[in-house]
Structure 1
Amino acid sequence: MFSPRKTDPFFAALLTIAEHVQEAMHYANDYKVTSVADLKEVSIRLKKYETDGDDLIHELISKLNTSFMTPIEREDILQLAIKMDDILDGIEHFAANLEMFSLIEIDEYVQTFMDNIVKSSDEIVKAMKLLERRKLVEMRDHAVTIKEYERICDEVLRTSIKQLFIRETDPIRIIQFKDIYELLEDIADYCQDVANTIETIIMRNA
């Protein structure tokens, strides 16, 4: 269906958005927080990632509004971009809450969430690189892998909240950590939304 000879600007734009999300996720995961000032720095930097991501979405929408032909349905291109942007919004919200609560130390559950979300962002980039090369069917494996990471995060959410009520006696910290866990699960869900959109694109175009 597609000509492999020329890179499509819409597919290139989607890859750029995916790589931007990936960079933000790796930054959030790799930054070693040791103070409240560090939390502030991470929060500010992720807000910048989120704002820059919005600019990338607006550029894509402008292209869609001025283009007569698109390589796949306009709605699918826009949906894919918006779902990736949701991931950015989610990680910015997560960092803002850490800074608001002054939570310098994270537990093993937060780290497990982050590990799986970061790996999901890597899979999204791999899928977008395949989309750019018109290899739609090969994208499916990456969608399936993202869904598996989301399933793991579902299990982590159940376990983390159960253990939180067992281990923690301070009601304020219970509220704070429960909020953090649920924010991270939301981000995993946004990654799964991207995977679902990828599968829809495959079904309609492969």
Structure 2
Amino acid sequence: MAGSKLSAVVVISICFVIFVSKSESGHCNSGQTVHILPNGSARCCIPWPYTCPINYPYTICDKDGGPDVCRKCPSGSIQPNLSNSTHPKSCFKNRPICSEDKVPLNRVEMLRGVRPSCICDRANNYFPIMGGIGCDFKPRGCPKGKELQVNGTCGECLLGTYKDWGGFGLCKPWTNCESKRLSLKLNGTTSTDAKCEKQSKVISKHVTSVMPMNRTLGE
């Protein structure tokens, strides 16, 4: 009797270990990435292969099997850093703690109640001078496909981002067609967004071929 109870405990323990191992590994399908959420659970997502630009932080999918996206910060919030699948970010409120030509650099400092470091606001054409001590203003914006760099020149948008207007502002991420339940028709460029199209439904038709019967001799 004692041996049966012991066997049952061992079996339950083994099953528990297997369950925990599966939960931790995420057991994502091929082409998916596992993200560990704040509550310790795992979520499988289709990764976005490009770097997300400023104010469009890399955001993990809303549910298992969904696509990760570069999601624009809501009004009144910012994310002044680039982000990607290995370093996702979140938006935070843009409090008036920096001078009007700068934006906060580090959210962690803000949460700790420490006055954060501030960087020049390139989205509004301010770039650093004197080793970052001050900011200078570039009166002319950059052309299509380019954004203001930290050295005050115009540089091409990062792969996966675009800017289809001339003037102030930073490059935006290409549209993630999968997040809109569409198929990618054409990749974007530095000055054009990606083009999506409706997903085509594949209809398989079963065709039965009828072979003619062999005629007998004499017919």
Higher relative contact order (CA 8 A, sep 6+): 1
User: Same fold per TM (> 0.5)?
Assistant: no
User: Which structure is higher in strand share?
Assistant: 2
User: TM-score if structure 1 supplies the norm length?
Assistant: 0.25
Rg larger in 1 or in 2? 2
